[in-house]
């Protein structure tokens, strides 16, 4: 992917990344949120400064109103599904919603046109390139029961979880507006600064995105920096965050707090003491996992991260994660932390490119959670279940036929995209590629081409063919051994490929238990891999024009051979009906 050289923008101290013509919007939020724990209502007032770094003139702004997916009777609610099941036996108290009470631009009230989870605000004065505008939005939210990532009284006992809780500006980027309705799946955001003031009953502890400005964190809890602030009645919690694209927080009266500093990062743990064993396990192991993360994927770039026992399921937000956390969830906690990278600092559109978040996070989780190094070889077959039912991975998250095909595409095929790419280019090139991805794309909005391009740069291989096959089709990887025979030239083996072209590794085990490794490059990469765990002899190139490939090994005789196996390290998925090896005993 290449872009023409464009122009530099500097706004509010951000350099707006004009390299190669790239631009991105910026939005800064100041939000006052008052939580009424008697009526389960949040009253909010937000002021946004939105800067148009695009070359386009904007005549309308769009907002996400996520909590309307929890509103009784909406189609978003029906699609979300989880509320369908409770609609019959739940009370009105379980449902939630967000009402925008006013939008004010330059002293003028502008009506917001709302359909369920998306609101639009027409601009009387268009926002021209390079200009910014200030909006003030007043809203009131009815807090739902905790069924979809947010709400009151979650399963592990946390009082309130506020995620997707404020009117959030939709993203405008090189593809225009991203106004995807919310059905409980994925997100897209705009980077900026947040200052959030939470006013609540003084009995609550508040934790979330950002750095707490008006209290000090001690190992056993927050200490008030302002002695004049009342201990009873209401209290304020002021958080700031920079270079994030969302803000989430949770509140509880009884959390245990722990913290640890690694490098100069404060890692916080907020949990219900009933789950102390699981949470102490996380805190104890965390330093080892973070060390792997830093080595493989780059330094965590924010001053703090909070693991918070809150929400429904396990969900990532900038600088924090909400974990139900009631079982041994160590690898899941690693997964959610690694979203700090593939969701947090790489702000890809997760609806369109869910695999860039979930799939790459799965790839990272498998490494970061492996603190004892026992998963040295990750077997693709363990990840590749369900090929027969999948839809192309390029299907948008909201629009899969069903949950399984979405999960399979985003998580499993997404992880396999990175695992197979590592098989093609080698581990060291992959690590170099992630390093370049970090240096080039952090705090930006990378798209699939951007990820593939850094891997091409790191490896010197052409990879677009694999990107296209893996993301845009549902063709399998299906290479089999067709036949083996003896010729005057030596041992002869014929392979068939019924799916995606792919370099092939072959292991031949002789009857004397000697093993020999071979590598068959393909024309599409323009280059052979040079990094092998076990030394391998390179064979002639397999052209993608031909479905079959025959090779001769003059140094071997059929009668010496015990077993021939392709894909000996399990790095590729294999056909369910077999064919990846032959035993010649
Ligand atoms: Zn995830």
Residue-wise pLDDT tens digits, 405-421: 898 899 999 999 999 99
pLDDT of residue 76: 80
Distance of CA 360 from the midpoint of ligand 1 (Å): 9
Query: What size, in residues, is the chain?
Result: 585
| Residue-wise pLDDT tens digits, 492-529 | 999 999 999 999 999 999 999 999 999 999 999 999 99
With beta carbons less than 8 A apart as the criterion, state whether 316 and 340 touch: yes
With beta carbons less than 8 A apart as the criterion, state whether 151 and 96 touch: yes
pLDDT of residue 264: 94
CATH no. of 25-190: 2.60.40
Distance of CA 149 from the midpoint of ligand 1 (Å): 13
| CA-based nearest residue to 355, from 438, 421, 415 | 415
With beta carbons less than 8 A apart as the criterion, state whether 561 and 508 touch: yes
Distance of CA 410 from the midpoint of ligand 1 (Å): 9
Distance of CA 209 from the midpoint of ligand 1 (Å): 17
Distance of CA 121 from the midpoint of ligand 1 (Å): 32
With vertex at residue 370, the alpha carbon angle to CA 366 and CA 374, rounded to the nearest 5 degrees, is: 110
Distance of CA 325 from the midpoint of ligand 1 (Å): 15
Distance of CA 486 from the midpoint of ligand 1 (Å): 50
- Rounded to whole angstroms, what are the CA distances from 158 to 150, 164, 206, 253? 11, 17, 11, 8
Distance of CA 336 from the midpoint of ligand 1 (Å): 6
Distance of CA 352 from the midpoint of ligand 1 (Å): 15
Q: How far apart are CA 66 and CA 370, in angstroms?
A: 35
Distance of CA 30 from the midpoint of ligand 1 (Å): 28
Distance of CA 339 from the midpoint of ligand 1 (Å): 7
Distance of CA 148 from the midpoint of ligand 1 (Å): 15
pLDDT of residue 266: 95
Distance of CA 509 from the midpoint of ligand 1 (Å): 40
With beta carbons less than 8 A apart as the criterion, state whether 97 and 71 touch: yes
pLDDT of residue 7: 36
Topology (CATH) of 380-472: Neutral Protease; domain 2 (1.10.390)
Residues 6+ apart with CB under 8 A from 88: none
pLDDT of residue 68: 94
Distance of CA 165 from the midpoint of ligand 1 (Å): 20
| Beta-carbon neighbours within 5 Å of ion ligand 1 | 358, 361
Distance of CA 361 from the midpoint of ligand 1 (Å): 6
Q: How far apart are CA 76 and CA 101, in angstroms?
A: 21
Distance of CA 408 from the midpoint of ligand 1 (Å): 12
Distance of CA 135 from the midpoint of ligand 1 (Å): 33
Domain locations along the chain:
25-190, 380-472, 479-583
Low-confidence ranges of the chain (pLDDT < 70): 1-20, 81-90, 218-221, 224-225, 227-231, 376, 386-389
The DSSP 8-state label assigned to residue 444 in this structure reads B
| CA-based nearest residue to 141, from 115, 163, 118 | 163
Distance of CA 334 from the midpoint of ligand 1 (Å): 10
């Amino acid at each position: 992917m290449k872009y023409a050289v464009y122009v530099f923008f500097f706004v509010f101290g951000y350099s707006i990344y004009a390299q190669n013509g790239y631009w991105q919007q910026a939005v800064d939020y100041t939000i006052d949120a008052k939580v009424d724990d008697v009526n389960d209502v949040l009253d909010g007032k937000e002021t946004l400064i939105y800067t148009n770094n695009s070359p386009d003139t904007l005549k309308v702004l769009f907002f996400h109103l996520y909590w309307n997916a929890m509103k009784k009777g909406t189609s978003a609610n029906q699609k979300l599904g989880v509320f369908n099941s409770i609609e019959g036996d739940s009370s009105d108290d379980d449902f939630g919603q967000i009402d925008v009470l006013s939008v004010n631009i330059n002293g003028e009230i502008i009506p917001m046109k709302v359909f369920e989870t998306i609101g639009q605000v027409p601009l009387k004065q268009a926002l021209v390139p390079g200009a910014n505008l200030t909006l003030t939005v007043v809203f009131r939210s009815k807090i739902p029961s905790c069924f979809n990532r947010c709400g009151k009284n979650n399963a592990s006992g946390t009082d309130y979880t506020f995620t997707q809780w404020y009117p959030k500006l939709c993203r405008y980027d090189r593809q225009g507006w991203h106004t995807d309705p919310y059905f409980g799946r994925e997100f897209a955001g705009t980077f900026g600064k947040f200052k959030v003031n939470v006013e609540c009953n003084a009995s609550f502890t508040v934790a979330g995105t950002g750095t707490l400005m008006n209290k000090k964190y001690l190992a056993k809890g927050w200490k008030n920096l302002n002695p004049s602030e009342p201990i009873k009645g209401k209290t304020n919690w002021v958080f700031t965050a920079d270079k994030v694209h969302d803000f989430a927080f949770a509140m509880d009266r009884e959390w245990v707090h722990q913290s640890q500093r690694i490098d100069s990062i404060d890692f916080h743990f907020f949990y219900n003491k009933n789950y102390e064993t699981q949470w102490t396990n996380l805190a104890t192991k965390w330093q080892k996992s973070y060390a792997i993360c830093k080595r493989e994927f780059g330094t965590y770039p924010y001053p703090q991260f909070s693991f918070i026992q809150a929400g429904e399921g396990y969900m990532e937000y900038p600088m924090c994660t909400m974990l139900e956390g009631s079982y041994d969830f160590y690898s899941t906690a690693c997964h959610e932390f690694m979203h700090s990278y593939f969701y947090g600092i790489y702000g890809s559109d997760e609806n369109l490119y869910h695999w860039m978040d979930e799939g790459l996070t799965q790839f990272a989780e498998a490494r970061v959670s492996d603190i004892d190094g026992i998963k040295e070889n990750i077997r693709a077959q363990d990840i590749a279940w369900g090929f027969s039912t999948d839809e192309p991975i390029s299907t948008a998250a909201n629009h899969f036929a069903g949950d399984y095909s979405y999960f399979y595409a985003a998580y499993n095929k997404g992880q396999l995209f990175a695992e197979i790419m590592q098989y093609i280019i080698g581990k060291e090139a992959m690590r170099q590629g992630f390093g370049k991805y970090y240096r080039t794309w952090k705090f930006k909005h990378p798209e699939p081409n951007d990820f593939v391009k850094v891997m091409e740069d790191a490896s010197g291989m052409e990879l677009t063919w694999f990107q296209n096959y893996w993301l845009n089709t549902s063709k399998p990887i299906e290479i089999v051994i067709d036949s083996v025979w003896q010729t005057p030239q030596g041992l002869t083996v014929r392979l068939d490929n019924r799916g995606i072209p792919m370099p092939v590794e072959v292991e031949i085990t002789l009857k004397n238990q000697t093993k020999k490794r071979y590598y068959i490059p393909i024309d599409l990469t323009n280059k052979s891999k040079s990094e092998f765990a076990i030394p391998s002899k390179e064979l002639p190139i397999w052209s993608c024009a031909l479905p079959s490939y025959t090779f001769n090994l003059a140094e071997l005789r059929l009668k010496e051979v015990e077993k021939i196996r392709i894909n000996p390290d399990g790095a590729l998925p294999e056909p369910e009906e077999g064919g990846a090896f032959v035993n010649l005993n």
